[in-house]
Amino acid sequence: MNPIPPTGMIIPTEPGRHFRAGKFDFWSFFFSGLTGLATLLILAILAVLLGNIIINGWPNLSWHFVSTIPRKDFFDPATTGVLPMIIGTTIRVFVMTIFVLPIGVITAIYLTEYAPTDSMLTRIIRAAVNNLAGVPSIVFGLFGLGFFINFIGRNLDEFLQNPGPVWGQPAVLWASLTLAVMTLPVVIVATEESLKAIPLGLREASLALGATKLETICKVVLPQALPGIMTGGILAVSRAAGEVAPILFTGVAYYMASLPSKLSDQFMDLGYHVFVLSTQSPDIERTRPILYATVLVLLLLTFALNFVAILIRARVRKKLRALG
Amino acid sequence: MPENALPKLEVKTALAAASGNAAPLIEIKKLSLFYGQAQALKNISLSIRERVVTAFIGPSGCGKSTLLRCLNRMNDLIDGVRIEGSVRIGQHDIYAPDVDVIELRKRVGMVFQKSNPFPKSIYDNVAYGLRIQGVKNKSDLDAAVEQSLRGAALWDEVKDRLHTSALGLSGGQQQRLCIARAIAVKPEIVLMDEPASALDPIATARVEDLILELKRDFTIVIVTHNMQQATRISDDTAFFYMGELIEAGPTQKIFTNPRQKRTEDYVTGRFG
Amino acid sequence: MGIHRGHRARPLEWIAERGIFLVALSTILMIFLIFVFVGREAMPILFGQENSALIKPVIPPEEMDRLKPEELQAYLGLSDKAFRQMERETLRELMIVKQEAQEEIPEQLRNDPDAHLNTTEWSAMLLPRQWSGYDEPVYIWQPIGSIHKYNIVPLIIGSLKVTLVGLLVAVPLAVGAAIYVSQLARPRVREVVKPVIEMLSGIPSVVIGFFALLVMASVLQSVFGYQTRLNAFVAGIALSFAVIPLVFSIAEDALTSVPRSYTQAALALGASRWQTAWQIVLPTALPGVFAAVVLGFGRAIGETMIVLMVCSASVVSWSIFDSARTITTTIAAEMAEAVAGGHHYRILFMLGAILFAVTFISNLIGDVVIHRLKHRLEGKR
């Protein structure tokens, strides 16, 4: 029997006895399990979604499908194809990139290299960028209609004295510009991330050699940041390729007999085509296979781009870790 | 050597060198520096002689690096910094309103504590300073790069791989590369902020040997927390404490017979 | 001497740096432009200046000269430029046309009290009304037929219904997973799961809508057995797929940025991982989780394609098992048929402006909260 010391402390008989697993903490186990289940459920949703599309779409995917220009009846599996949609999507995304990359990179350069850290203006600019990221895509569509088409387009037509509306109506240019405004935050964030990752020492070394700030940025900082900028561009492209709402009123067409040849033309689009096939098919069972194939093409496009962007980002992170 | 590409600072140089009596190149008069409200440098007055190695010593946080960075106005890069007093190089107050900081930095080079070569080739690193000054002629660049690398005692080690990445060099080699890069533009003054503190003893020794050779052509100001290093390589020493200049003079005198008690305490290791 | 050249030495650089500043300012300009140009088209409705009544007082063409120019312009509904360009004869013709148009209105419609109504008034857009042919006052959005009914209440209810279902499904799942991944699971798990869930955010909403329409709708109907196959319930669940990655990302970031010292202190005192997560980490990161939910709300209420593909009938009912028309789907579906500059067109823009205002405010709240949380946590580090 152990003596009980005057302080009233009880000394255990075997040291370590109280460490052995005794009570089972039910609630901890339960809630841990619940949250784990939530995670699993989300992963399951992703798996089912992708799996369903791949399983149903893959057998219907063919080189013929991807390279045919369909006739007006989209719903006939024998003659349909998605070539003009792929081309339309590609063109609008390409034009968008031409606009969004310069503006996004320059803005990010300003925010990282020039902006005074605690000024009100800097905070407003950042708030504006964050807000742009949260604007609903349909509002961008309205913006494209109200600003680019009705305001700039119409005035441009008047200025050029066009007999009929050429620019004052839906067109590839306006859809691309609308998408550029929409994906601007993506490019800005990615570029800022890559600029911030470049150690200060490099900039100091350049400045100490008598280079100006702009020279330092152009000759030392930007070349280092290039992979990050590319990542941003690719992410923007991948996001824009899948968006339909912003192009509904700004340039997409249900059917076009020929491919878009100038910036004022309308265009067909993969995502919009999925929408059309899903909701306007006279016989959904017959359309099912081509619908799945179209969705698969769209997914492959967006995922391939996303994948490339993630790869570049991972490689850059590894390289910079070696530097720093 | 492309003499015409880089006009030199004027005057006392030649006279002083000829007479063997090194005249003050840098005159710091009553210099105070404030970070917002906090004062980091208190009323510093100091003369730095030409073509000698001057060491700034003192415990951490005493302001020696801050003072060094005043000499090429790198402190301008920090928000909220304020300067009082003057710093004259040659005849000219470098804080005068009409001074072009970019030009100043071409005259006063800097080597940092942590070596920071650009992620470019060895050749491009050394040629960088020359290129931004407009030197385009390939043979001029080649000659200047070779001369700088020789001057930095790095030529033999890298002459066969000039166009490989500078990041493939060892720590000590990278620091010597940074020195080569700094001297390539032929500045009058080279500032070094604890250049060997991140290096192993062998690399440190090579950098110290390099500094002793460089002082024939350049005025060197070096910040160091290593007192033995200061005694080994410097001709003049300035001891700082808490933002103030306590004592300055020939190195021998500071270390063997200092006038101030605080100096004596520091150099004998009683604190630091 | 070389040093004394000053800033003037580099004019090109100075111009370039001003240019960089201007480009950065343009981001503020863009938000501003969105406000302005979406609002511009909606302005007349917002200020009650439009009148969509079918039967309006007609001014006979003979009386044309008695009118002041502004009155004539307003009566004919012309823009400033068009009015100035037209000659007197043309204006007279227009007046005749207007008179004839009024006369063509069929008899039964003329006697219909609704025909005199300005259906774009705020009272018509927000309050229930008993229209002719109905038994009781209803809220109804029906911009077709001879008398357009523009009550926006069904649309607001529709948006809220779908958003609510979406959030009710997405938030528990996303926050639960965020807690699991950042606090309870092994670090290796986090490295794998986080990018995978982010993949979900890369799926275009058309694809989610397609999946909901083709697969989920039937499956859910057979499981739950309700009557309408394409309803707000299905739309809400599909919507949650788009919201989950967003809420997960932000919540997980907030939970992970709680300093490790807190977790370690709690664990050292003998708390289980769950207790630590629930009692220490979550309360600290709560503002971030709250912000995640707010931003998720913004995303949900602004989503168009998913809901558009799943349900489209405009029904006023609080039951989530009925269909729903949301603000977003209405704009998307009806803009193509709306006459440019007409009342329908302007009301659709007004809906867009309202939507923009709502998401703008919710985004602002979310951003401010995250900003404050970051400050607080970084201070403590």
Residue A313 has pLDDT above 80, yes or no: no
pLDDT of residue B66: 93
* pLDDT value of position C242: 93
Q: What is the CA radius of gyration of chain B?
A: 18
pLDDT at B16: 38
Match 């028309």 to its residue by tokens: C325
Q: Does C273 touch chain A (CB under 8 A)?
A: yes
- CATH number of the domain within which B240 lies: 3.40.50.300
C159 interaction partners in chain A (CB closer than 8 Å): none
List, for residues B199-210, the tens digit of each pLDDT value.
888 888 989 999
Lowest mean pLDDT among A268-272, A280-284, A316-320: A316-320
Residues C41 and C68 in one domain: no
- The mean-pLDDT minimum among A59-73, A78-92, A248-262 falls in A59-73
Q: Average of pLDDT values for C104-108?
A: 69
Q: Looking at the domain assignment, is residue C192 inside a domain?
A: yes
**Among A71-85, C167-181, C353-367, which stretch is predicted with the lowest mean pLDDT?**
A71-85
Map out the domains of chain A as residue ranges.
28-60, 63-323
Q: Do B100 and C5 touch (CB under 8 A)?
A: yes
Q: What is the pLDDT of residues C14-47, one digit of tens each?
A: 899 999 999 999 989 999 999 888 888 888 777 7
Q: For residue B12, what pLDDT is reported?
A: 33
pLDDT of residue B22: 54
pLDDT at B8: 38
Decide if B84 is inside a domain: no
What is the predicted pLDDT for the residue at A322?
Answer: 61
Measure the CA–CA gap between B170 and A197, rounded to whole angstroms: 22
Beta-carbon contacts below 8 Å between A and C? 250
- pLDDT average, residue stretch A150-161: 86
What is the per-residue pLDDT across A220-273, written as a single tens digit (0 to 9) for each? 999 889 888 988 898 899 889 999 999 998 988 888 878 888 888 899 999 999
Residue-level pLDDT at B126: 93
User: What does the mean pLDDT of chain A come to?
Assistant: 84
Range of the structural domain that residue C30 is part of? 7-46
d(C-alpha A69, C-alpha A73), whole Å: 11
Task: Determine contact: A314 vs chain C, CB below 8 A.
Answer: no
Touching subunits for chain B (3+ Cβ pairs under 8 A): A, C
Contacts 24+ apart (CB under 8 A), B204-208: B204/B172, B204/B229, B206/B153, B206/B172, B206/B176, B207/B172, B207/B175, B207/B176, B207/B179, B208/B232, B208/B233
Among B96-100, B242-246, C139-143, C363-367, which is the least confidently predicted range? Answer: C139-143
For range C234-250, the mean pLDDT: 93
pLDDT for the residue C380 = 52
Q: Report d(CA C173, CA C241) in Å as an integer.
A: 10
Residue C322: CATH number of its domain: 1.10.3720.10
**DSSP states along B63-130:** SHHHHHHHHTTGGGGSTTEEEEEEEEETTEETTSTT--HHHHHHHEEEE-SS----SSBHHHHHHHHH
What is d(CA B16, CA B49) in angstroms, rounded to the nearest whole number? 10
Partner-chain contact C31 A132, CB within 8 Å: yes
Cβ pair A204:B77 closer than 8 A: yes
**pLDDT at residue number C9:** 66
Query: Domain for residue B80, yes or no?
Result: no
**B16 to chain A, minimum CA–CA distance in Å?**
27
Residues C223 and C187 in one domain: yes
Evaluate if residue A207 carries a pLDDT over 50.
Answer: yes
Residues C201, C76 share a domain: no
Closest in C1, C7, C9 to B92, CB measured: C1
* pLDDT tens column, C284-316: 888 889 999 999 999 999 999 999 998 876 666
Contact between chains at B116 and A117 (C-beta distance less than 8 A):
no
Residues C38 and C79 occupy one common structural domain: no
Chain A: residue nearest B80 by CA?
A116
Residue with token string 């994948």: A307
pLDDT above 80: residue C136 = no
Q: What is the pLDDT of residue B6?
A: 32
> Which chain B residue has the Cα nearest residue A323?
B167
Chain B / chain C CB contacts < 8 angstroms = 35
- pLDDT over 80 (residue C95): no
Whether B160 is in a domain gets the answer yes
Residues 10-39 of C with CB under 8 A from B: 10
Asked if the C-beta of B99 comes within 8 angstroms of chain C's C-beta atoms, the answer is yes
Instruction: Grade residue A13 by pLDDT with cuts at 50, 70 and 90.
Output: low
Question: What was the pLDDT predicted at A169?
Answer: 86
Residue C315: the pLDDT is: 67
Q: Report pLDDT digits (tens) over A104-121.
A: 999 999 999 998 887 889
B132 touches chain C (CB under 8 A): no
Write out the residue range of the structural domain in which residue B177 sits.
51-73+100-267
Written as six digits, the tokens of A219 are 């000759």
Q: Which residues of A touch B221 (CB under 8 A)?
A: none
Q: Give A-chain residues touching C305 at CB under 8 angstroms.
A: 244-245, 271, 275
Q: Is the same domain home to C192 and C87?
A: no
Average pLDDT, chain C: 82
Candidates A194, A209, A224, A323, partner chain B, best to mutate (most B CBs within 10 A): A209
A-chain residue closest to C305, CA distance: A245
Listed in sequence order, the residues at least 6 apart from B214 whose beta carbon sits closer than 8 Å to its beta carbon are: B151, B179, B183, B190, B220
Instruction: Please report how the helices B171-184 and B122-132 are oriented relative to each other, as an axis angle in degrees rounded to 10.
Output: 20
Question: Is some CB atom of chain C closer than 8 A to the CB atom of A155?
Answer: no
Residues 184-203 (A) with a CB less than 8 A from some CB of C: 184, 188
How many domains, chain B?
A: 1
CB contact under 8 A, A214 and C16: yes
Compare all CA atoms of chain C with the CA of B107 and give the residue at the minimum distance: C3
Neighbour subunits, A (≥3 Cβ pairs < 8 A): B, C
In a domain, residue B189? The reply is yes
Out of B77, B119, B181, closest to residue A209 by CB? B181
Number of structural domains found in chain C: 3
Query: What is the per-residue pLDDT for B144?
Result: 92
Domain assignment present for residue C256? The answer is yes
Together in a domain, C197 and C275: yes
**What share of chain A in percent tops pLDDT 70?**
90
What is residue B14's predicted lDDT score, i.e. its pLDDT? 38
The pLDDT-based confidence of A21 (bands split at 50, 70, 90) is: low
Q: Answer for the pair B192, B223: CB distance below 8 angstroms, yes or no.
A: yes
What share of residues in chain C are helix, strand, coil (percent, to 5)?
70, 0, 25
* Chain C CA closest to residue B94: C3
When pLDDT is cut at 50, 70 and 90, the band that residue C2 belongs to is: very low
Residue C331: list chain A partners with CB under 8 A.
138, 141-142
CATH code matching the domain that covers A63-323, chosen among 1.10.3720.10, 1.20.1260.10, 3.40.50.620, 2.60.40.10: 1.10.3720.10
Burial profile A94-115: b = 16 or more Cβ within 10 angstroms, e = fewer: ebbbebbbebbbbbbbbbbbeb
Q: Are strands B219-223 and B53-57 parallel, antiparallel or unpaired?
A: parallel
Taking residues C356-381, what's their average pLDDT?
Answer: 83
Q: Does C1 touch chain B (CB under 8 A)?
A: yes
pLDDT of the residue at B17: 40
Of the segments C68-77, C229-238, C257-266, which one has the largest average pLDDT value?
A: C229-238
- Identify which of C3, C5, C7 has the shortest CB distance to residue B94: C3
Give a yes or no: residue B246 inside a domain: yes
Nearest-CA residue of chain B relative to C2? B103
Residues of chain B with pLDDT under 50: 1-21
C-proximal residues of A, 18-77, CB under 8 Å: 25, 27-29, 31-32, 34-39, 41-43, 45-46, 49, 52-53
Domain identity same for C310 and C277 = yes
Terminal-to-terminal C-alpha distance of chain B: 44
**Contacts from C199-202 at CB under 8 Å and sequence distance 24+?**
C199/A46, C199/A303, C199/A306, C200/A42, C200/A45, C200/A46, C200/C241, C200/C244, C200/C245, C201/C242, C201/C245, C201/C246, C201/C249, C202/A238, C202/A239, C202/A242, C202/A302, C202/A303, C202/A306
